[in-house]
Amino acid sequence: MDKNILRRGRLGDSINSKVIEYTTSLTFDGEIFESDILCSIAHTTMLIERNIISKEDGSKIIKELINIYKNGMETLDLDPSLDDIHMVIENELIKKIGEDVAGRMHTGRSRNDQVATDIRMALRDKVLLILKGLINLSKNILSIAEDHVETLFVGYTHLQHAQPTTYGHHLLSYVSALERDILRLLDAYKRINISPLGCGAMATTGFDIDRIRTMELLGFDKLIENSMDGVSTRDFIVEVMSILSIMGINLSKICEELIIFSTYEFRVLELSNTYTSTSSIMPQKKNPDVAEIARAKLSTLNGNLITVLTILKALPNTYNRDLQEITPHLWDSVYTSLDTIEMIEGMLLTLKVNKDRMKELSEKNYSTATELADTLVRECNIPFRRAHGIVGEVVRESIEKNKNMIDVIKDILKKYNLTLEKEAIRRALDPMENIKMRKIIGGPAPEEVIRAIESYNNRIKDYEDRVSIEIEKIKNIKNKLLNYN
Ligand code: ARG
Protein backbone atom coordinates (compact mmCIF):
# COMPACT_ATOMS: atom_id res chain seq x y z
CA MET A 1 0.00 0.00 0.00
CA ASP A 2 1.57 3.24 -1.16
CA LYS A 3 -0.96 5.71 0.12
CA ASN A 4 -0.39 8.06 3.02
CA ILE A 5 -0.23 5.79 6.10
CA LEU A 6 -1.78 8.41 8.33
CA ARG A 7 -4.63 9.81 6.26
CA ARG A 8 -5.64 6.94 4.01
CA GLY A 9 -8.24 5.36 6.34
CA ARG A 10 -10.35 8.17 7.63
CA LEU A 11 -9.51 10.96 5.25
CA GLY A 12 -8.77 9.29 1.95
CA ASP A 13 -7.14 11.46 -0.70
CA SER A 14 -8.34 14.82 0.56
CA ILE A 15 -5.10 16.79 0.49
CA ASN A 16 -4.55 20.48 0.04
CA SER A 17 -0.85 21.28 -0.04
CA LYS A 18 -1.28 24.72 1.53
CA VAL A 19 -3.17 23.19 4.48
CA ILE A 20 -0.53 20.51 4.82
CA GLU A 21 2.29 23.04 4.86
CA TYR A 22 0.40 25.17 7.36
CA THR A 23 -0.04 22.35 9.86
CA THR A 24 3.13 20.28 9.64
CA SER A 25 5.72 20.34 12.41
CA LEU A 26 8.40 18.76 10.23
CA THR A 27 10.10 22.14 9.80
CA PHE A 28 11.15 22.08 13.47
CA ASP A 29 10.92 18.38 14.36
CA GLY A 30 14.67 18.02 13.74
CA GLU A 31 15.05 18.98 17.40
CA ILE A 32 13.31 15.77 18.51
CA PHE A 33 14.54 13.37 15.81
CA GLU A 34 17.07 11.63 18.04
CA SER A 35 14.74 11.51 21.06
CA ASP A 36 11.97 10.06 18.92
CA ILE A 37 14.17 7.18 17.76
CA LEU A 38 15.32 6.48 21.33
CA CYS A 39 11.74 6.65 22.55
CA SER A 40 10.63 4.13 19.89
CA ILE A 41 13.51 1.77 20.66
CA ALA A 42 12.60 1.81 24.36
CA HIS A 43 8.90 1.34 23.65
CA THR A 44 9.57 -1.57 21.26
CA THR A 45 11.99 -3.21 23.72
CA MET A 46 9.26 -3.10 26.34
CA LEU A 47 6.64 -4.46 23.91
CA ILE A 48 8.90 -7.46 23.26
CA GLU A 49 9.52 -8.03 26.96
CA ARG A 50 5.78 -7.96 27.69
CA ASN A 51 5.07 -10.35 24.79
CA ILE A 52 2.89 -7.76 23.13
CA ILE A 53 4.89 -8.15 19.93
CA SER A 54 7.23 -10.99 18.99
CA LYS A 55 10.95 -10.77 19.60
CA GLU A 56 11.50 -11.37 15.89
CA ASP A 57 9.35 -8.44 14.80
CA GLY A 58 10.58 -6.18 17.57
CA SER A 59 14.23 -6.81 16.76
CA LYS A 60 13.67 -5.96 13.11
CA ILE A 61 11.96 -2.72 14.12
CA ILE A 62 14.74 -1.72 16.50
CA LYS A 63 17.51 -2.53 14.02
CA GLU A 64 15.82 -0.48 11.35
CA LEU A 65 15.26 2.40 13.79
CA ILE A 66 18.99 2.38 14.46
CA ASN A 67 19.69 2.45 10.71
CA ILE A 68 17.35 5.40 10.30
CA TYR A 69 19.13 7.18 13.13
CA LYS A 70 22.56 6.54 11.61
CA ASN A 71 21.49 7.69 8.14
CA GLY A 72 20.10 10.90 9.59
CA MET A 73 16.86 12.76 9.17
CA GLU A 74 17.95 14.31 5.84
CA THR A 75 17.78 10.91 4.15
CA LEU A 76 14.10 10.42 5.00
CA ASP A 77 11.09 11.17 2.85
CA LEU A 78 10.04 14.35 4.65
CA ASP A 79 6.54 14.39 3.18
CA PRO A 80 4.63 17.10 5.07
CA SER A 81 1.33 15.31 4.49
CA LEU A 82 2.58 12.79 7.07
CA ASP A 83 2.23 15.60 9.64
CA ASP A 84 5.41 15.11 11.59
CA ILE A 85 8.62 13.25 12.34
CA HIS A 86 6.80 10.45 14.16
CA MET A 87 4.88 9.46 11.05
CA VAL A 88 7.87 10.07 8.77
CA ILE A 89 9.91 7.55 10.75
CA GLU A 90 7.07 5.02 10.83
CA ASN A 91 6.57 5.50 7.11
CA GLU A 92 10.27 4.80 6.49
CA LEU A 93 10.14 1.71 8.69
CA ILE A 94 7.18 0.39 6.71
CA LYS A 95 9.03 1.02 3.46
CA LYS A 96 12.09 -0.85 4.73
CA ILE A 97 10.66 -3.83 6.63
CA GLY A 98 7.01 -3.89 5.58
CA GLU A 99 3.83 -2.95 7.35
CA ASP A 100 3.29 -6.45 8.78
CA VAL A 101 6.27 -5.87 11.05
CA ALA A 102 6.76 -2.07 11.24
CA GLY A 103 3.03 -1.49 11.69
CA ARG A 104 3.28 -3.11 15.13
CA MET A 105 5.57 -0.48 16.65
CA HIS A 106 2.78 1.94 17.52
CA THR A 107 0.90 -0.66 19.60
CA GLY A 108 -0.15 0.78 22.96
CA ARG A 109 1.03 4.31 22.39
CA SER A 110 -0.02 7.55 20.75
CA ARG A 111 1.82 10.44 19.21
CA ASN A 112 0.54 12.40 22.19
CA ASP A 113 2.60 10.57 24.79
CA GLN A 114 5.37 10.11 22.23
CA VAL A 115 5.85 13.81 21.49
CA ALA A 116 5.60 14.78 25.17
CA THR A 117 8.33 12.23 25.93
CA ASP A 118 10.51 13.39 23.01
CA ILE A 119 10.34 17.05 24.04
CA ARG A 120 11.27 16.23 27.62
CA MET A 121 14.29 14.22 26.43
CA ALA A 122 15.46 16.88 23.99
CA LEU A 123 14.93 19.62 26.55
CA ARG A 124 16.86 17.89 29.32
CA ASP A 125 19.90 17.70 27.00
CA LYS A 126 19.60 21.40 26.25
CA VAL A 127 19.08 22.40 29.88
CA LEU A 128 22.23 20.51 30.80
CA LEU A 129 24.10 22.44 28.08
CA ILE A 130 22.79 25.76 29.39
CA LEU A 131 23.80 24.72 32.89
CA LYS A 132 27.30 23.91 31.64
CA GLY A 133 27.44 27.32 29.98
CA LEU A 134 26.35 29.14 33.12
CA ILE A 135 28.76 27.16 35.26
CA ASN A 136 31.71 27.96 32.95
CA LEU A 137 30.70 31.59 32.79
CA SER A 138 30.55 31.78 36.59
CA LYS A 139 33.92 30.08 36.97
CA ASN A 140 35.50 32.52 34.53
CA ILE A 141 33.98 35.55 36.25
CA LEU A 142 35.30 34.24 39.57
CA SER A 143 38.81 33.94 38.18
CA ILE A 144 38.65 37.49 36.78
CA ALA A 145 37.34 38.70 40.16
CA GLU A 146 40.35 37.13 41.82
CA ASP A 147 42.58 39.58 39.92
CA HIS A 148 40.52 42.55 41.10
CA VAL A 149 39.99 42.12 44.83
CA GLU A 150 42.00 45.31 45.35
CA THR A 151 40.98 47.15 42.20
CA LEU A 152 39.18 50.19 43.61
CA PHE A 153 35.97 51.13 41.83
CA VAL A 154 32.90 53.12 42.72
CA GLY A 155 29.49 51.57 43.20
CA TYR A 156 26.38 53.26 41.82
CA THR A 157 22.83 53.65 42.98
CA HIS A 158 20.50 55.50 40.62
CA LEU A 159 23.57 55.46 38.36
CA GLN A 160 25.03 58.14 40.67
CA HIS A 161 28.18 57.63 42.72
CA ALA A 162 27.24 55.79 45.88
CA GLN A 163 30.11 54.20 47.81
CA PRO A 164 33.54 52.80 47.02
CA THR A 165 33.83 49.15 46.16
CA THR A 166 36.21 46.99 44.16
CA TYR A 167 35.78 45.62 40.67
CA GLY A 168 36.20 42.15 42.18
CA HIS A 169 33.23 42.77 44.47
CA HIS A 170 31.25 44.14 41.52
CA LEU A 171 31.99 41.00 39.48
CA LEU A 172 30.84 38.79 42.36
CA SER A 173 27.41 40.37 42.12
CA TYR A 174 27.12 38.77 38.66
CA VAL A 175 28.04 35.34 39.99
CA SER A 176 25.64 35.73 42.91
CA ALA A 177 22.77 36.18 40.43
CA LEU A 178 23.95 33.48 38.02
CA GLU A 179 24.11 30.99 40.89
CA ARG A 180 20.38 31.39 41.41
CA ASP A 181 19.77 30.77 37.70
CA ILE A 182 21.84 27.59 37.98
CA LEU A 183 19.87 26.47 41.03
CA ARG A 184 16.56 27.25 39.35
CA LEU A 185 17.49 25.17 36.29
CA LEU A 186 18.73 22.29 38.45
CA ASP A 187 15.42 22.34 40.27
CA ALA A 188 13.35 22.56 37.08
CA TYR A 189 15.29 19.58 35.75
CA LYS A 190 13.47 17.37 38.27
CA ARG A 191 10.16 18.32 36.68
CA ILE A 192 11.45 17.91 33.12
CA ASN A 193 12.92 14.47 33.63
CA ILE A 194 9.67 12.58 34.26
CA SER A 195 8.20 10.13 31.77
CA PRO A 196 4.78 10.55 30.14
CA LEU A 197 5.36 7.50 27.95
CA GLY A 198 2.47 5.07 28.34
CA CYS A 199 -0.13 7.80 28.83
CA GLY A 200 -1.26 6.97 25.28
CA ALA A 201 -3.63 9.39 23.63
CA MET A 202 -4.97 10.38 27.08
CA ALA A 203 -6.28 7.25 28.82
CA THR A 204 -3.23 4.92 28.74
CA THR A 205 -3.93 1.61 26.95
CA GLY A 206 -5.53 -1.78 27.48
CA PHE A 207 -2.28 -3.50 26.50
CA ASP A 208 -0.28 -4.67 29.48
CA ILE A 209 2.60 -2.26 28.93
CA ASP A 210 5.27 -1.46 31.54
CA ARG A 211 5.67 2.26 32.07
CA ILE A 212 8.38 1.87 34.68
CA ARG A 213 10.50 -0.11 32.24
CA THR A 214 10.39 2.53 29.48
CA MET A 215 10.99 5.21 32.10
CA GLU A 216 14.18 3.43 33.14
CA LEU A 217 15.32 2.64 29.62
CA LEU A 218 15.03 6.32 28.71
CA GLY A 219 16.81 7.59 31.81
CA PHE A 220 13.83 9.33 33.39
CA ASP A 221 13.79 9.68 37.18
CA LYS A 222 10.07 9.26 37.66
CA LEU A 223 6.71 8.87 35.93
CA ILE A 224 4.19 11.58 35.35
CA GLU A 225 1.40 9.24 36.39
CA ASN A 226 -1.93 10.75 35.44
CA SER A 227 -2.37 10.02 31.77
CA MET A 228 -4.46 13.10 31.02
CA ASP A 229 -1.99 15.49 32.61
CA GLY A 230 0.88 13.52 31.10
CA VAL A 231 -0.07 14.30 27.51
CA SER A 232 -1.56 17.70 28.24
CA THR A 233 0.91 19.60 30.36
CA ARG A 234 3.66 21.79 29.00
CA ASP A 235 4.25 23.55 32.30
CA PHE A 236 7.83 22.21 32.36
CA ILE A 237 8.44 24.26 29.21
CA VAL A 238 6.95 27.39 30.76
CA GLU A 239 9.12 26.80 33.80
CA VAL A 240 12.33 26.57 31.77
CA MET A 241 11.41 29.58 29.64
CA SER A 242 10.60 31.61 32.76
CA ILE A 243 13.97 30.73 34.20
CA LEU A 244 15.63 31.71 30.91
CA SER A 245 13.80 35.04 31.05
CA ILE A 246 15.06 35.67 34.56
CA MET A 247 18.54 34.62 33.47
CA GLY A 248 18.13 37.04 30.56
CA ILE A 249 17.55 39.87 33.01
CA ASN A 250 20.73 38.97 34.85
CA LEU A 251 22.76 38.61 31.65
CA SER A 252 21.37 41.81 30.16
CA LYS A 253 22.62 43.71 33.21
CA ILE A 254 26.12 42.47 32.42
CA CYS A 255 25.72 43.55 28.78
CA GLU A 256 24.37 46.94 29.76
CA GLU A 257 27.29 47.52 32.11
CA LEU A 258 29.79 46.46 29.48
CA ILE A 259 28.22 49.04 27.20
CA ILE A 260 28.07 52.00 29.59
CA PHE A 261 31.35 51.28 31.33
CA SER A 262 33.17 51.36 28.00
CA THR A 263 31.80 54.79 27.06
CA TYR A 264 34.24 57.71 27.05
CA GLU A 265 32.33 59.15 30.01
CA PHE A 266 33.05 56.10 32.21
CA ARG A 267 36.20 54.81 30.47
CA VAL A 268 36.66 52.00 32.99
CA LEU A 269 36.39 49.07 30.59
CA GLU A 270 37.52 48.43 27.05
CA LEU A 271 36.06 45.60 24.99
CA SER A 272 38.48 43.69 22.80
CA ASN A 273 38.31 44.53 19.09
CA THR A 274 36.84 41.10 18.34
CA TYR A 275 33.65 42.00 20.18
CA THR A 276 33.17 45.42 18.63
CA SER A 277 32.28 46.94 15.27
CA THR A 278 33.09 50.23 13.63
CA SER A 279 31.18 52.87 11.68
CA SER A 280 30.94 53.16 7.91
CA ILE A 281 31.33 56.92 8.17
CA MET A 282 33.02 57.76 11.49
CA PRO A 283 36.52 56.28 11.32
CA GLN A 284 37.20 56.66 15.04
CA LYS A 285 34.33 54.46 16.19
CA LYS A 286 34.61 51.33 18.28
CA ASN A 287 31.07 50.26 19.03
CA PRO A 288 29.99 47.56 21.52
CA ASP A 289 27.73 45.83 18.98
CA VAL A 290 28.00 42.31 20.42
CA ALA A 291 26.84 43.47 23.85
CA GLU A 292 24.05 45.46 22.21
CA ILE A 293 22.90 42.50 20.11
CA ALA A 294 23.03 40.33 23.22
CA ARG A 295 20.97 42.90 25.15
CA ALA A 296 18.35 42.81 22.38
CA LYS A 297 18.38 39.05 21.82
CA LEU A 298 17.80 38.50 25.54
CA SER A 299 14.56 40.47 25.20
CA THR A 300 13.26 37.83 22.79
CA LEU A 301 13.31 35.36 25.69
CA ASN A 302 10.54 37.40 27.29
CA GLY A 303 8.56 37.58 24.06
CA ASN A 304 8.84 33.81 23.57
CA LEU A 305 7.70 33.19 27.13
CA ILE A 306 4.62 35.37 26.70
CA THR A 307 3.82 33.62 23.40
CA VAL A 308 3.91 30.22 25.07
CA LEU A 309 1.88 31.33 28.08
CA THR A 310 -0.72 32.76 25.73
CA ILE A 311 -0.91 29.56 23.65
CA LEU A 312 -1.45 27.50 26.80
CA LYS A 313 -3.87 29.77 28.62
CA ALA A 314 -7.37 28.21 28.79
CA LEU A 315 -6.60 25.20 26.58
CA PRO A 316 -8.93 22.40 27.60
CA ASN A 317 -7.70 18.91 28.51
CA THR A 318 -5.85 17.04 27.04
CA TYR A 319 -3.78 17.12 23.86
CA ASN A 320 -4.62 19.96 21.51
CA ARG A 321 -2.70 20.59 18.33
CA ASP A 322 -1.99 24.11 19.63
CA LEU A 323 0.72 22.46 21.72
CA GLN A 324 2.75 21.87 18.58
CA GLU A 325 3.20 25.63 18.13
CA ILE A 326 5.03 25.93 21.47
CA THR A 327 8.26 24.13 20.74
CA PRO A 328 9.74 26.45 18.06
CA HIS A 329 9.65 29.25 20.66
CA LEU A 330 11.21 26.98 23.26
CA TRP A 331 14.10 26.03 20.97
CA ASP A 332 14.58 29.63 19.94
CA SER A 333 14.95 30.64 23.59
CA VAL A 334 17.31 27.73 24.22
CA TYR A 335 19.66 28.64 21.36
CA THR A 336 19.53 32.35 22.13
CA SER A 337 20.53 31.54 25.70
CA LEU A 338 23.37 29.22 24.71
CA ASP A 339 24.83 31.64 22.16
CA THR A 340 24.48 34.69 24.39
CA ILE A 341 26.17 33.00 27.35
CA GLU A 342 29.08 32.18 25.04
CA MET A 343 29.33 35.77 23.76
CA ILE A 344 29.25 37.26 27.25
CA GLU A 345 31.93 34.86 28.40
CA GLY A 346 34.10 35.87 25.44
CA MET A 347 33.63 39.59 26.11
CA LEU A 348 34.50 39.25 29.80
CA LEU A 349 37.55 37.07 29.20
CA THR A 350 39.05 39.56 26.75
CA LEU A 351 38.08 42.71 28.61
CA LYS A 352 40.62 45.40 29.45
CA VAL A 353 40.12 46.96 32.87
CA ASN A 354 41.31 50.54 33.34
CA LYS A 355 42.36 50.39 36.98
CA ASP A 356 43.58 54.00 37.12
CA ARG A 357 40.28 55.34 35.91
CA MET A 358 38.39 53.08 38.33
CA LYS A 359 40.51 54.39 41.21
CA GLU A 360 39.98 57.96 40.06
CA LEU A 361 36.20 57.48 40.08
CA SER A 362 36.26 55.83 43.49
CA GLU A 363 37.75 59.00 44.99
CA LYS A 364 35.44 61.41 43.23
CA ASN A 365 32.06 62.85 43.91
CA TYR A 366 31.74 62.27 47.67
CA SER A 367 31.58 58.47 47.48
CA THR A 368 33.07 58.28 50.98
CA ALA A 369 30.50 60.59 52.61
CA THR A 370 28.70 57.66 54.28
CA GLU A 371 31.91 56.62 56.00
CA LEU A 372 32.46 60.20 57.18
CA ALA A 373 29.01 60.18 58.79
CA ASP A 374 29.71 56.74 60.33
CA THR A 375 32.99 58.12 61.73
CA LEU A 376 31.12 60.98 63.40
CA VAL A 377 28.75 58.44 64.96
CA ARG A 378 31.67 56.39 66.28
CA GLU A 379 33.98 59.19 67.40
CA CYS A 380 31.46 61.74 68.66
CA ASN A 381 28.73 59.36 69.81
CA ILE A 382 25.94 61.22 68.01
CA PRO A 383 22.89 59.61 66.36
CA PHE A 384 23.40 58.60 62.74
CA ARG A 385 20.59 60.87 61.53
CA ARG A 386 22.42 63.91 62.97
CA ALA A 387 25.71 62.82 61.43
CA HIS A 388 23.93 62.35 58.10
CA GLY A 389 22.68 65.96 58.25
CA ILE A 390 26.06 67.36 59.21
CA VAL A 391 27.91 65.53 56.41
CA GLY A 392 25.20 66.59 53.97
CA GLU A 393 25.97 70.15 54.95
CA VAL A 394 29.70 69.53 54.46
CA VAL A 395 29.01 68.22 50.94
CA ARG A 396 26.75 71.16 50.12
CA GLU A 397 29.37 73.69 51.26
CA SER A 398 32.13 71.92 49.48
CA ILE A 399 30.14 72.12 46.24
CA GLU A 400 29.04 75.72 46.76
CA LYS A 401 32.48 76.99 47.75
CA ASN A 402 34.25 74.71 45.30
CA LYS A 403 36.49 73.38 48.08
CA ASN A 404 37.47 69.91 49.28
CA MET A 405 35.44 68.40 52.12
CA ILE A 406 38.51 68.38 54.32
CA ASP A 407 38.74 72.17 53.98
CA VAL A 408 35.16 72.91 54.99
CA ILE A 409 34.53 70.26 57.61
CA LYS A 410 36.39 71.95 60.47
CA ASP A 411 34.15 75.02 60.60
CA ILE A 412 30.97 73.03 60.32
CA LEU A 413 32.02 70.68 63.13
CA LYS A 414 32.87 73.69 65.27
CA LYS A 415 29.38 75.06 64.71
CA TYR A 416 27.97 71.86 66.25
CA ASN A 417 30.57 71.71 69.02
CA LEU A 418 32.11 68.55 67.64
CA THR A 419 35.72 67.58 67.00
CA LEU A 420 37.29 64.92 64.85
CA GLU A 421 40.96 64.03 64.65
CA LYS A 422 42.57 64.85 61.31
CA GLU A 423 43.64 61.22 60.95
CA ALA A 424 40.06 60.01 61.49
CA ILE A 425 38.85 62.35 58.75
CA ARG A 426 41.58 61.26 56.37
CA ARG A 427 40.76 57.60 56.90
CA ALA A 428 37.05 58.19 56.44
CA LEU A 429 37.69 59.92 53.13
CA ASP A 430 40.11 57.29 51.80
CA PRO A 431 38.28 54.80 49.53
CA MET A 432 40.66 51.92 50.28
CA GLU A 433 40.17 52.42 54.02
CA ASN A 434 36.40 52.35 53.39
CA ILE A 435 36.76 49.04 51.59
CA LYS A 436 38.96 47.45 54.21
CA MET A 437 36.44 48.25 56.94
CA ARG A 438 33.56 46.60 55.09
CA LYS A 439 34.61 43.09 55.89
CA ILE A 440 31.34 41.62 57.07
CA ILE A 441 29.68 38.85 55.04
CA GLY A 442 29.04 39.97 51.48
CA GLY A 443 31.13 43.14 51.75
CA PRO A 444 33.89 44.47 49.49
CA ALA A 445 36.90 44.04 51.84
CA PRO A 446 39.57 42.08 49.95
CA GLU A 447 39.67 39.33 52.60
CA GLU A 448 35.89 38.92 52.42
CA VAL A 449 35.84 38.89 48.62
CA ILE A 450 38.59 36.23 48.64
CA ARG A 451 36.52 34.16 51.06
CA ALA A 452 33.39 34.63 48.93
CA ILE A 453 35.22 33.60 45.75
CA GLU A 454 36.33 30.39 47.39
CA SER A 455 32.88 29.62 48.66
CA TYR A 456 31.29 30.27 45.23
CA ASN A 457 33.95 28.09 43.62
CA ASN A 458 33.15 25.23 46.01
CA ARG A 459 29.44 25.43 45.41
CA ILE A 460 29.86 25.74 41.67
CA LYS A 461 32.07 22.67 41.66
CA ASP A 462 29.18 20.82 43.29
CA TYR A 463 26.73 21.96 40.56
CA GLU A 464 29.28 20.99 37.94
CA ASP A 465 29.52 17.48 39.39
CA ARG A 466 25.74 17.13 39.43
CA VAL A 467 25.52 18.18 35.79
CA SER A 468 28.35 15.84 34.75
CA ILE A 469 26.68 12.88 36.46
CA GLU A 470 23.44 13.59 34.59
CA ILE A 471 25.21 14.03 31.24
CA GLU A 472 27.06 10.76 31.75
CA LYS A 473 23.84 8.97 32.68
CA ILE A 474 22.12 10.16 29.51
CA LYS A 475 25.13 9.27 27.37
CA ASN A 476 24.99 5.74 28.75
CA ILE A 477 21.29 5.23 28.11
CA LYS A 478 21.72 6.54 24.55
CA ASN A 479 24.61 4.15 23.95
CA LYS A 480 22.66 1.23 25.30
CA LEU A 481 19.55 1.93 23.23
CA LEU A 482 21.49 2.57 20.03
CA ASN A 483 23.58 -0.57 20.41
CA TYR A 484 20.68 -2.97 20.73
CA ASN A 485 21.16 -6.49 19.45
N1 ARG B 1 3.44 17.07 15.67
C2 ARG B 1 2.64 16.91 16.83
C3 ARG B 1 3.09 17.89 17.96
O4 ARG B 1 4.14 18.40 17.86
C5 ARG B 1 2.76 15.51 17.32
C6 ARG B 1 1.55 15.01 18.04
C7 ARG B 1 0.43 14.88 17.10
N8 ARG B 1 -0.73 14.39 17.76
C9 ARG B 1 -1.96 14.52 17.25
N10 ARG B 1 -2.93 14.06 17.95
N11 ARG B 1 -2.16 15.17 16.15
O12 ARG B 1 2.36 18.11 18.88
- pLDDT digits 0-9 by tens, 17-34: 999 999 999 999 999 999
| 347 and 419 share one domain | no
Question: Tell me, what CATH number does 21's domain have?
Answer: 1.10.275.10
For a mutational test of ligand 1's pocket, the pick from 112, 234, 320, i.e. the residue with the most ligand atoms closer than 8 A to its C-beta, is 112
Please tell me whether residues 227 and 171 are part of one structural domain. yes
Whether 161 has a pLDDT exceeding 60, the answer reads yes
pLDDT of the residue at 396: 98
Ligand 1 atom showing the smallest separation from residue 83 Cα: 1
Residue 26: its pLDDT value, please?
98
Mean pLDDT of the chain: 97
Q: Is residue 436 part of a domain?
A: no
Q: What is the mean pLDDT of residues 316-337?
A: 98
Question: What's the 444 CA to ligand 1 centre distance in angstroms?
Answer: 54
Q: What percent of the chain has pLDDT over 70?
A: 100
Task: Look at residues 21, 1, 20, 19 and name the one whose alpha carbon lies nearest to residue 9.
Answer: 1
Mean pLDDT, to the nearest integer, of 369-386?
A: 98
The average pLDDT across 161-179 equals 98
Distances (CA, A) of 263 to 150, 256, 270, 287, 476: 23, 11, 9, 9, 50
Our count of domains for the chain comes to 3
Examine the pLDDT at 86 and tell me if it is beyond 70. yes
Label residue 5 by pLDDT band (50, 70, 90).
very high
Whether the pLDDT of residue 291 is over 70: the answer is: yes
Domain identity same for 291 and 401: no
Name the pLDDT band for 3 (thresholds 50, 70, 90).
confident
* pLDDT score at 10: 95
For residues 233-257, give the mean pLDDT. 98
Per-residue pLDDT of 53-80, as tens digits, reads 999 999 999 999 999 999 999 999 999 9
Give domain status of residue 2, yes or no.
no
65 and 168 fall within a common domain: no
Residue nearest to atom 4 of ligand 1 (CA): 324
> Is residue 158 flagged as an active site residue?
yes
Same domain, 243 and 162: yes
Annotation says 17 is catalytic? no
Q: Domain residues for 103?
A: 17-107
User: Same domain for 85 and 116?
Assistant: no
The reported pLDDT for the residue numbered 133 is 99
Q: Are residues 170 and 302 located together in one domain of the fold?
A: yes
Residue 485, pLDDT score: 74
Please write the tens of the pLDDT for every residue from 428-480: 999 999 999 999 999 999 999 999 999 999 999 999 999 999 999 999 999 99
Indicate whether residue 330 lines ligand 1 (CB < 6 A): no
The pLDDT tens digits of the residues spanning 394-431 come to 999 999 999 999 999 999 999 999 999 999 999 999 99
Same domain, 222 and 331: yes
Task: Indicate whether 310 belongs to any domain.
Answer: yes
Using pLDDT thresholds of 50, 70 and 90, give the confidence band for residue 1.
Answer: low
> Has residue 363 been placed in a domain?
no
Please tell me which residue in 272, 279, 455, 468 is annotated as part of the active site: 279
25 lines ligand 1 (CB under 6 A): yes
Q: How far is the CA of 187 from the centre of ligand 1 (A)?
A: 28
φ, ψ for residue 269, nearest 5 deg: -125, 150
